[in-house]
Structure 1
């Protein structure tokens, strides 16, 4: 099965409700959703969720990812520990769109305590509908994964 329109989603306890809302919107927009948890408002450790979503992308099961925690910061930090992940924390649709078009971000991190449902949905919609521009951005992206030093 193609992962072209597959998104892996995950949230900690603070982002649980917003994750569910956004996952349903993604499904309605024709995306296959892989839910990596959490499945309740009980406390969980956000790195576990970020690693699960990142692993789905690294393994080729999903093309994009969505992470939601209280601020979006912790999820972004954890996801960006993975070599193949470019996770952008966004606060609105413009940041989400630019993260895709200029930075080829493959994971969007949102803060449920900072971003309302409508703005978060606009950001996700922009993220999912924007392609990477390439061109002048390619050389910059290449510098994010430099050759290892010997």
Structure 2
């Protein structure tokens, strides 16, 4: 599994934490994190991450901003992206189990590092349940927008 990371300036500290966590677990990383703390626009980083996910096999993304809201809204504009803002491990579990989320959105200004570690571990380890959820995801993917 390849993880593609992106954040805006409000998610930079958490982005570095997530990157180091994933590297310690042996995952390959594609890093679109900003290189400094100058203000940037979250939609630009959501675009980079989502575009890369859609062209990379066996990839998931992690997007971070202050609240996670902007990133999740921007990411879900891309057909084939199922971004989930997760504030705890239960949300991370259900996002993978029932929704087959391929992008995890995190909130630097809300979630502590211990909680984020729990969210990451759960998101990484939970597989999609399939079954009745396949039909629901298919319906979403076929929305006529």
Instruction: Verify the 8 A CA contact 1:14 1:70 in the aligned structure 2.
Output: yes
Gaps of 5+ in 1: none
Give distance in 2, aligned partners of 1:140 and 1:24.
Answer: 34
Gaps of 5+ in 2: none
1:87 and 2:87 are equivalent in the alignment: no
Match of 1:121 among 106, 117, 121: 117
* Aligned residue in 2 for 1:132: 128
Q: Secondary structure at the match of 1:34?
A: strand
Give distance in 2, aligned partners of 1:62 and 1:114.
Answer: 29
RMSD: 1.3
Match of 1:20 among 16, 41, 45: 16
* Number of aligned positions between the proteins: 145
Q: Which runs of 4+ in 1 moved over 6 A?
A: none
Give distance in 1, aligned partners of 2:8 and 2:143.
Answer: 34
Instruction: Verify the 8 A CA contact 1:58 1:84 in the aligned structure 2.
Output: yes
Instruction: Verify the 8 A CA contact 1:8 1:62 in the aligned structure 2.
Output: no
The aligned runs of 1:22-101 (5 Å cut-off) are 22-60=18-56, 63-101=59-97
TM-score by length of 1: 0.92
Give distance in 2, aligned partners of 1:62 and 1:113.
Answer: 30
Give distance in 2, aligned partners of 1:101 and 1:28.
Answer: 24
